[in-house]
Amino acid sequence: MLRANDISRALDEARDEGRVLALVSLIERSGKPPLETTRMLVAEDGTVAGGTLGDPDLDELAARHALAVLADERQEIVSVALDNGIRLLFEVSRPPLELIVCGGGHVGRAVAAAGRLLDFRVTVIDDRPDFASRERFQDPSIRLIAGDFTPSLRNLKVTPATHIVIVTRGHRHDELCLREVIDRPARYIGMIGSRRRTTTIREHLRREGVAAELLRQVRAPIGLDIGAQTPEEIALAILAEITLTRRGGSGRPKSAEGPMARTR
């Protein structure tokens, strides 16, 4: 049986490691509250991380339902009625979203501000102290690191809840940053630059032996194509792509569907 302190410790460890967990509780059996509430923890790959509902078949069924609940980031607390009067409660624990911005220039500053609006924990790195200063980033919740990109990134914890945006002042620094993080477990890695420049960097890393699968996961050029020109518009395009990665969707205009679209 999972005790309260076991659950608390497991949830704390998962949040610290950037993992998502679902706590599943049996709250009704045969339409009545059970004499004793049983619980289990399910990871986002559907594996049972601890506990049991008292029946292997029910555990397997609950894990399948948990997998669907965990896949939808809009879900936090869900009650599901099964056959035979069984009802399960799914409580989802998600780690805080992290945004690491490499580069404190105009675009980096706009990306950091947009990230805070979306409730990310934001860290900005720049090797120029003036560009990683509180004068430029007045929001005290934004963490600032003034130092060389490679050791600074190496010292940061990167988890599946981490999103990395590479927008430094030049392709050499972009490549240094990408080389350092490309094999880390970040959920999103994006790099600014023209298609030609980003292709050149990809080719450099490919020649160094970086796996093609890792290179394909990098969003470069970064952001959705919305015709962005200003730093703020570029930041919007980047955060839109990050949101698309997290939430899913087609990226198509909603006005392209429905009855209004048919009147055009």
pLDDT score of 259: 58
pLDDT score of 119: 94
pLDDT score of 251: 82
The secondary structure of 41-89, three-state, reads EEECCCCEEEECCCCHHHHHHHHHHHHHHHHCCCCCEEEEECHHHCEEE
- Which domains are delineated in the chain? 4-93 (no CATH), 98-247 (3.40.50.720)
What is the mean predicted confidence (pLDDT) over 7-27?
92
Q: How far apart are CA 221 and CA 198, in angstroms?
A: 6
pLDDT score of 217: 94
Residue 264 pLDDT more than 80? no
How do residues 67-115 score in pLDDT, each as one tens digit?
989 888 777 899 999 877 899 999 999 999 999 999 999 999 999 999 9
Task: Tell me the whole-structure pTM to 2 decimals.
Answer: 0.84
Alpha-carbon dihedral angle through residues 138, 139, 144, 149, given to the nearest 10 degrees:
-90
Residue 260 pLDDT more than 60? no
- Provide the H-helix boundaries in the chain: 4-16, 56-71, 106-117, 149-154, 171-181, 195-207, 212-217, 231-247, 259-262
How do residues 232-259 score in pLDDT, each as one tens digit?
999 999 999 999 988 877 888 877 765 5
